[in-house]
Structure 1
């Protein structure tokens, strides 16, 4: 931590990476504050300890009725792009390894209740393969990947150069996670979504809304890349992006590929929309009322949705995540509720 222009900042390889905080809105007293105050003024000592202390996080989970939780970074980039963007590649690689070692330790100490996903050295395909195999041996249950490695000088993820990485992740049963905002490219768009004259909190709300849809770009790209034909058991998770947009995007993708790229469509083994149920997962935490939710779940697939709490981010369901969705989920079958609230995750993460 260093002071930059009078503010406490995280600094890596000489580059300021964000406030000395943990990117949340839940305070030490357990109350949620305005996003503008928390994200722009709080430091590490003002945010809830559960945002960064594994022991306190487990207490929060116990209080909330959560058995296990997949955990993502914040200040270093939701896809770890802050480490990846360092100019000293050896330093970046070693830092990622140290970070991943610590995540493996947290997972073991929590009895596999906390699953902090390891990061990848995304500027180098071979290094990603090696690191995936290394963290797999440490017990990782998935990996967290930037959605735009081309930002870092590597091929984009549709390039066949990544096939050894997809093969390793499939072999090791490591689902690949793409969090919203998980690249330099996506966060550049994030800053331009809202019109500048809106108030700060409204700009955050607009940015958050459209950042969800930003993951539609990731989903559409991976589907038409052909990677699932070459690696039919590969699993991809779209994180913190909701699922309400999924049916429309799949329908639109089928139509657009039929109309505009029939030759490329013919190279795929099945219609684009059919890959979601076999290879992709979405996350659910706030969408739709009781009457509309069953149709949404039917369209996306009850086997392809997992529940999230988003603690301690501005849109989190804290302090009562299960109570917050109880009425909305009442219209679902018991089987669908059980899958979404836990069994899908239990199977995917081998818990």
Structure 2
């Protein structure tokens, strides 16, 4: 109860004020960049005119945090803000400004990649500029940061692979971020045209991510409720494309994560995919659709996938045994206003106050350390100085027995008494997944047995 948590945020953001990316662009792109800046200004004006931005909130946010928000690109200020939050390590995605879009990567090569104006050559140029700058940020406090390579793989696979290799050699070790959407007329991610991307990531040990942000905005108009309802679906969609189509069979070392899209949908998705695969009543009429798979979907998920559950709610954490404790990575979404910064310690006490310490250590940092190759020994002195303890989160007063039944049940569709006979018969002919059935929590500090098999 007195050992501080080693906290690693699996979701932070950094980026230059957009106009400052000019120095990181190839010179032949400067003229196009001038056009992009003008376009960004017009988009901002249109958002204000259409009432898509809460101007009162934006004004208060920038006024209250004017100096702190420099941490989006200033390394020294960034470390100061992370220290205040108790965060020892971070996985860094693009686009620090999620209110006014003032730090957008050039040519849309950020969270909303593959929009209506997507041009592969320009997107790759913008990604290269951001990756060059991010490598410099990560060289400051290198033990603390893992920068995510922006990789616009849609439309130019060979160019993206070359950029992944270049950025990795430049020191970026946080995996890659691919577009959540591939756009109309482009190949979906199960197509073997993307195999060179999966191959280089497997070779270099780089996890592949999608990140919340993209959606078909031209269809949604000004109806923001449609956006907040659908954006998670678009971010998660590539994951089941990889699971169902044999990509993980072809690339057994590939890792894939869905970041800042919550975790509330994950357990239900695994249930739905598993029972469909097991030929339950609703799918027995269909021809075989698991011909590319040797295991049930939840087993592929355990072996290859993870959820970057930024700022998880209590409801989401209550389903952790269905999802798998060792598959969940916490993030503070720094410095976005929808994240927990600058009140992370209070948020952690609320969300994790009655969750067992070993599980908390896994979700707050242990699994991220393994996934991204952080040196925990190098980070431990910093964590000891800034990290909250279990007692600080109120866990010394908690009754953890309230979780006993959920822990024992795990994935109820694999362990419960209501398993249909046809499912049970097929299950008995298959070996159990690594680490046991049902995503039960591990006993080794939270980093699951399924992880150790990779």
| TM range, smaller chain | 0.7 to 0.9
Residues of 2 paired with 1:94 and 1:189: CA distance?
25
Contact 1:176–1:236 at 8 Å: present in 2 too?
yes
Residues of 2 paired with 1:106 and 1:268: CA distance?
41
How much does 1:176 deviate? 0.6
Residues of 2 paired with 1:43 and 1:334: CA distance?
34
| 2:256 equivalent in structure 1 | 236
- Residue number among 172, 176, 181 corresponding to 1:143 in the alignment: 176
| 2:394 equivalent in structure 1 | none
Distance 1:85 1:96, change over 3 A: farther
| 1:188 equivalent in structure 2 | 217
Residues of 2 paired with 1:338 and 1:49: CA distance?
30
Establish whether residue 269 from structure 1 lines up as the match of residue 301 from structure 2.
Answer: no
Max radius of gyration: which structure? Answer: 2
C-alpha offsets along residues 172-220 of structure 1, whole Å, 9 cap, x if unaligned? 01001100124xxx2427845x7x4xxxxxx36x633542343332322
Q: State the aligned residue count.
A: 316
| 1:27 equivalent in structure 2 | none
| 2:269 equivalent in structure 1 | 249
| 1:335 equivalent in structure 2 | 358
Residues of 2 paired with 1:237 and 1:225: CA distance?
17
Establish whether residue 169 from structure 1 lines up as the match of residue 213 from structure 2.
Answer: no
**Cα RMSD (Å):** 3.4
TM-score (norm 1): 0.78
Establish whether residue 93 from structure 1 lines up as the match of residue 124 from structure 2.
Answer: yes
Residues of 2 paired with 1:305 and 1:130: CA distance?
31
Establish whether residue 325 from structure 1 lines up as the match of residue 357 from structure 2.
Answer: no
Establish whether residue 70 from structure 1 lines up as the match of residue 91 from structure 2.
Answer: yes
| 1:214 equivalent in structure 2 | 234
Mark the runs of 5 or more structure 2 residues left unpaired by the alignment: 1-17, 20-31, 45-51, 96-103, 375-454
C-alpha offsets along residues 66-105 of structure 1, whole Å, 9 cap, x if unaligned? 111122223345446279955482x543332232111111
Distance 1:43 1:245, change over 3 A: closer
Please give the secondary structure, in 1, of the residue aligned with 2:361: helix
How much does 1:56 deviate? 1.7
Q: Which has the higher contact order (CA 8 A, sep 6+)?
A: 2
How much does 1:144 deviate? 1.1
Establish whether residue 224 from structure 1 lines up as the match of residue 257 from structure 2.
Answer: no
Please give the secondary structure, in 2, of the residue aligned with 1:70: strand
Residues of 1 paired with 2:245 and 2:304: CA distance?
13
Distance 1:222 1:163, change over 3 A: same
Establish whether residue 306 from structure 1 lines up as the match of residue 324 from structure 2.
Answer: no
